[in-house]
Amino acid sequence: MRARIRIGTASWTDPGFVEDWYPPKLPARARLRWYAEQFNYVEINATFYAIPMERTVARWVTETPDDFLFDAKLPKALSRHRMQAKFLPSDLRSKVTNERGYVTLSAKSEKLIVQRFLREMRPLFDANKLGAFLLQLSPSFQPKHDRLDELDSLCDLLAPHPLAVELRNRDWVTGEQADLTLDYFCSRKMTFVMVDAPDSEHFTVMRGMNSVTSPKLAYFRLNGRNAEEYIAGRSVPERFNYDYPRAEVEEIAGRVRTMEDQVDEIHIAANNNRSSYAPKTAKLLAEILIGRTETRTLTQSKLL
């Protein structure tokens, strides 16, 4: 059987979407509902920056159809980024932060943060609307100083929910280390996040590998191909400022098709989030993969 494919964008709240994609004067509270009329899948970007409250997550559930699916980014402290205490629930802060007000990642703090995160995200589980958790590791996480098996505890804490991991240091997939990296992911049936990225040897730019490491889920993120801004850009819209031409989207569709018989489900998140580029790319990719002549209803059902 061929994989079920879900295609969407990395967030539904980007300023570029508001300026150039959403209908003019659409209230902020109506954006997710409108987004869910266009796509059946999205990454939650906000959870990278702060743990949401349960009532917020419950609202996401009620504002989307029963067949809608979310992949949720894990809080940035878990991915080895600096995170200030003020972005954690107030009752958790003193238990996991240092005197300078930043989270200190340890076995204890990791467990406390994950437990609280899972508690607040429960409405997604109850509604069967969680696809996977996404761990976007810092480029500072590298083979020279770190080990992949440091992620074992996090994987265990999140079980039985699937974990997809996006490495952002090229050394993990260079030379002999590449085989060791994929062996780690395969042995744990953990999803290795594949990317489409600029043509660059910079250490933060991952190679475009087609590597399915879990029989249940393949995960593909489209980061754009603007090498100069990807490396030097200071803001998210600058780093992912790229409007894929049709020929390149067709090339990406070809990569996706090579995975269809290897996995149950494929998630594709357009992360080229300058202006309306990401929803435009996601729509075009769905059109190419599903077919131009089908109705929206049939397209949605096949995407599921």
Angstrom distance (rounded) from CA 27 to CA 43: 21
Residue 158's pLDDT is: 97
Q: What is the pLDDT of residue 1?
A: 59
Q: Do 75 and 117 meet the contact criterion of CB atoms below 8 Å apart?
A: yes
Mean pLDDT of the chain: 92
Please name which of 206, 209, 199 lies closest in space to residue 169, comparing C-alpha atoms: 206
**Number of domains comprising the chain:** 1
The pLDDT of residue 300 is 42
**CA atoms of 165 and 60, how far apart (whole Å):** 24
Over the stretch 97-150, which tens digit does the pLDDT of each residue have? 888 889 999 999 999 999 999 999 999 999 999 999 999 999 999 999 999 999
The CATH number that applies at residue 19 is 3.20.20.410
Buried-exposed string 89-112: b where 16+ CB fall within 10 A, e elsewhere: eeebeeebbeeeeebebeeebbee
> 28 with 292: CB under 8 angstroms?
no
State the residue range of the domain holding 128.
4-303
Contact status, residue 31 vs residue 12, Cβ threshold 8 Å: yes
Token readout for 239 is 């780093």
Q: What local confidence, expressed as pLDDT, does residue 292 receive?
A: 41
Run of H or E residues at 121: none
Residues of the chain scoring pLDDT < 50: 292-304
DSSP designation for 85 = G
- In this predicted structure, what is the pLDDT of residue 145? 94
Instruction: For residue 151, give the DSSP letter.
Output: G
Measured in degrees and rounded to the nearest 5, phi and psi for residue 69 equal -135, 140
